[in-house]
Amino acid sequence: MNIFISANNTNQGKTYASLLLLESFAKKGFKVGVLKPIETGVKDYPLDGKKLFEKAKKLNPKLQALTLDDIVPIQHSLPAAPFVSGSVDFEKIKNSYKKIKPLCDILLIEGAGGILVPITDNFKMIDFVKFFNAKLLLIVGSKLGMINDFLLNKFYLEQNNIPFIWAVNLFNDTYFKITHPFLKDFSPLFIQKDLDKIVQRLLRE
């Protein structure tokens, strides 16, 4: 099973959620793997990709045969959308996928930024869902403005018939005062409180 992890924007907790999910799936007996097709803003090495790789290797020793460049095949130094930061070799991404996939039962694929981040003229971040035949988990960070962000993402995904599971990453408890009174009708799950429910839904749906 492939799971693509995206978010309503950048810096909303994709990597944080991915690390927790790796542990949770591993505890259930699954061999886990990770792939971050593109990381921008890379200096010496891809920070998010390295965190994911180090965690995954501990949980699945078979990944020791891989390198960080396998996990993050496209690395750009400019912290910008891939369309701006540099060219993207999709064959290189496919080759990484072919190396990683046989080593795991569940592959977590982490996007960069939000779902509509442009990669080429005709390929956006959300298109990786189809590219990898993956389920989509949308992380929504609990910041002021998240209602608008969530509704826009929800509208786009539903209009394009893209099934998704979504979860709130709680940055602080102000969410319950300023946002939950509206979002409660959408039955949100929370990364910090409902991880097992999120895992069960990903396995079931």
Question: pLDDT tens digit string along 124-140?
Answer: 999 999 999 999 999 99
- What is the rounded distance in angstroms from the CA atom of residue 168 to the CA atom of residue 13? 9
Query: 108: closest CA among 51, 158, 52, 153?
Result: 52
**And the tokens for 69?**
């460049």
Query: 11: closest CA among 126, 140, 116?
Result: 140
Half-sphere CA count of 169, side-chain side, radius 13 A: 23
pLDDT for the residue numbered 31: 98
pLDDT for the residue numbered 17: 97
Mean of the per-residue pLDDT values of the chain:
96
Q: Is the pTM of this model over 0.75?
A: yes
pLDDT average, residue stretch 6-12 = 91
pLDDT at 11 > cutoff 90: no
pLDDT for the residue numbered 97: 98
pLDDT for the residue numbered 94: 98
The percent of residues in the chain predicted with pLDDT above 90, rounded, is 96
What fold, for 2-204?
Rossmann fold (3.40.50)
The percent of residues in the chain predicted with pLDDT above 70, rounded, is 100
**And the tokens for 195?**
């991880």
Query: 100: closest CA among 130, 134, 127, 62?
Result: 62
Q: Where are the domains of the chain?
A: 2-204
**And the tokens for 38?**
């593109």
pLDDT for the residue numbered 62: 96
pLDDT at 172 > cutoff 90: no
**36 among known catalytic residues:** yes
- From the candidates 36, 99, 124, 135, give the one annotated as an active-site residue: 36
Q: Buried b vs exposed e over 77-106: b needs ≥16 C-beta within 10 Å?
A: eeeebbeebeebeeeebeebbebbeebbeb
pLDDT at 205 > cutoff 90: no
Question: pLDDT tens digit string along 73-119?
Answer: 999 999 999 999 999 999 999 999 999 999 999 999 999 999 999 99
Query: 36: closest CA among 68, 62, 8, 71?
Result: 71
Helix (H/G/I), strand (E/B), else coil: 202: helix
pLDDT for the residue numbered 89: 97
Task: Yes or no: say if 38 and 56 are a contact pair by the CB < 8 Å rule.
Answer: no
Could you tell me which residue, 144 or 129, shows the higher pLDDT? 129
